[in-house]
Structure 1
Amino acid sequence: MSAIYKSEAGADELRRRYQEELRTWPVPADHLQVPTREGETFVLASGPPDAPPVVLLHGAGANATMWREDAAAWAQHLRTYAVDLVGEPGLSAPSRPPLDSDAYVRWLDEVLDGLGLADTALVGISLGGWMALEYATHRPERVRRLALLCPGGVGAQKVGWLFKALLLRPFGRWGTRRSAQVATGLDTPLSGPVLDHLALTFAQFRPRTERLPVFSDEALRRLAMPVRVTVGESDAMFDSAQTADRIRRCVPHASVEVLPGVGHAILDQTGPVLAFLRG
């Protein structure tokens, strides 16, 4: 059994649910397995093969299916490659090399090479935003455009929500769901299915415990490509005000938006991000 899951039965259940989502993917898609030094990497590719490419990097505890609604719209204009990050509950290898190494840059090099992409636009959210930034600061020549949603590694990482989650852990599935609500900031009736999905995932999945390395000002200044950053004003996981301030100071050409009253989970950005990607 992989160490990223709490049981083999739980891992099987998450894979079964993943396959169900793939069977109902809203647009035609190719299921690709790209060999890398970290193991097989699963990529869900949609849209015209000759359209401009965009690589999508999801957040922690998620997989490529989090881009379901976005891909349905973006694939009309772009070739979307939704990547399952290694070490997360998708169909990629369970490998988790240290975050404070060049392993994820080398891994994404091999993913892009395997997809035949000399360069591409990148979209990343949360942990995926950190990985997109990590790649863009080391390989700026391979990143055409960079769109980040609540990215890690810029503003300070908060821990208050984690203490609340630990207090809720003894309350079983309800406690897990409530923890997800605290972390994401989702508290509307329409958020129910998202929170239920997160609760089911984290009942079976072991999340990373490493803190995300913070990018230096020097690293952020390497971002010469067009950049769009969107953060939630009430993010419980990262200091969104600090994220916005540092990006504005170090990447003055970037577009930065702070969404009032929004937490870590940023929804309904399909249109604005598509407009940015199409330039």
Structure 2
Amino acid sequence: MTAIYRSAAGAAAVRDRYDTLLDRWPVPSGRRTVRTRLGATFAVVSGPVDAPPVVALQGSGGTAAHWLPDIATLAGRLRVYAVDAPGEPGRTAEARPPLTSPAYAEWLDDVLDALELPRAAFLGTSLGGWWALDHALRRPARVTALALVNPAGIGRRRIAPLLKFAGYRLFGAWGRRRSLAMVAKGSPADPGRRAVGEFTFATFEHFKPRLEAIPVVPVERLRTLAMPTQAHFGAHDVLLDQRDAAAKLREAVPHADVRLAEDAGHFLPGWAGSVVTFLEGERS
């Protein structure tokens, strides 16, 4: 298995900072580690026990702490299982099978089984949106509803910003701030969202991101999505062409509630209340 950190000391530094963020979780929660075929998987569980269950998946280089700015809204009326994905920072196993394989759908099958969830809604952002979408396409019977926030895998990926981020990394703290400013375009500068963004970019000092291309889902596959679907896109996303993605999803899935925020980027604000209303209305 390829190491996902540049050093053992770097891995420890990321996990210590992650634990500090988790200690700021603003609502009552429990922490679970479950067994899957890809290894131990960590989740933070919040919200009323009898509320609709939602599996939340963060993006590349992210952890369950990604949901800190919005978890109070989400967990007010939903049972949220914020899961650390394999091969990413956090406290899940470092396995990183190819994205083109069925391994991630099988992993999520194991997660649902271990959490005793025959079916659940899925909430995913960025690469987490791709995992949620992939699971919905491969296992439609297990997905009650799909909520996507700036998902990867629908619109075209932008390469130029990735090259800029690689260059900025050479300039230490200044470079991290510059990268964060690019990605956070249009996002409010509230302390919680800024703390999560700073943690994510600091993580990349030690973390080796995936270099594998994220598969783009063809229109004909998107047309098979039958479950209720809501998707939020930021028109100024520097990483993904989300105008293209929004148009593609509207054409392929006419029943989907597709929203394009003209003044927002990759760190899309203001979606949580709409997602709660949508998912609460789609009880299994």
Q: Distance in 2 between matches of 1:189 and 1:23?
A: 21
- Give the deviation of 1:153 after TM superposition: 0.7
Contact 1:53 1:120 in 2 (8 A): yes
The RMSD of aligned alpha carbons is 1.8
Please identify runs of 4+ aligned residues in structure 1 that moved more than 6 A.
none
- Give the deviation of 1:242 after TM superposition: 1.1
Residues 53-62 or 73-82, more deviating: 73-82
Map of 2:279 onto structure 1: 277
Compared with structure 1, are the counterparts of its residues 98 and 184 closer, same or farther at alpha carbon in structure 2 (3 Å cutoff)? farther
Map of 2:144 onto structure 1: 144
Map of 1:93 onto structure 2: 93
Task: List aligned pairs for 1:102-141, cutoff 5 A.
Answer: 102-141=102-141
Map of 1:238 onto structure 2: 240
- Give the deviation of 1:238 after TM superposition: 1.0
Other structure's SS at 1:150 match:
strand
Map of 1:36 onto structure 2: 36
TM, length-normalised to structure 2: 0.93
Q: Distance in 1 between matches of 2:198 and 2:84?
A: 21
TM, length-normalised to structure 1: 0.94
- Give the deviation of 1:188 after TM superposition: 6.2
Compared with structure 1, are the counterparts of its residues 159 and 36 closer, same or farther at alpha carbon in structure 2 (3 Å cutoff)? same
Report Cα offsets for 1:138-161 as digits up to 9, x if no partner.
Answer: 111111111001111111111010
Question: Percent sequence identity over matched residues?
Answer: 46
Contact 2:187 2:267 in 1 (8 A): no
Q: Distance in 1 between matches of 2:138 and 2:187?
A: 37
Map of 1:78 onto structure 2: 78
Q: 2:259 aligns with which of 257, 260, 271?
A: 257
Residues 189-198 or 36-45, more deviating: 189-198
Contact 1:176 1:199 in 2 (8 A): yes
- Give the deviation of 1:48 after TM superposition: 2.2
Equivalenced residues, count = 279
Unaligned runs of at least 5 residues, structure 2: none
Map of 1:59 onto structure 2: 59
Unaligned runs of at least 5 residues, structure 1: none
Map of 2:268 onto structure 1: 266
Other structure's SS at 1:12 match:
helix
Map of 1:47 onto structure 2: 47
Does 1 or 2 have the higher relative contact order (CA < 8 Å, sep 6+)?
2
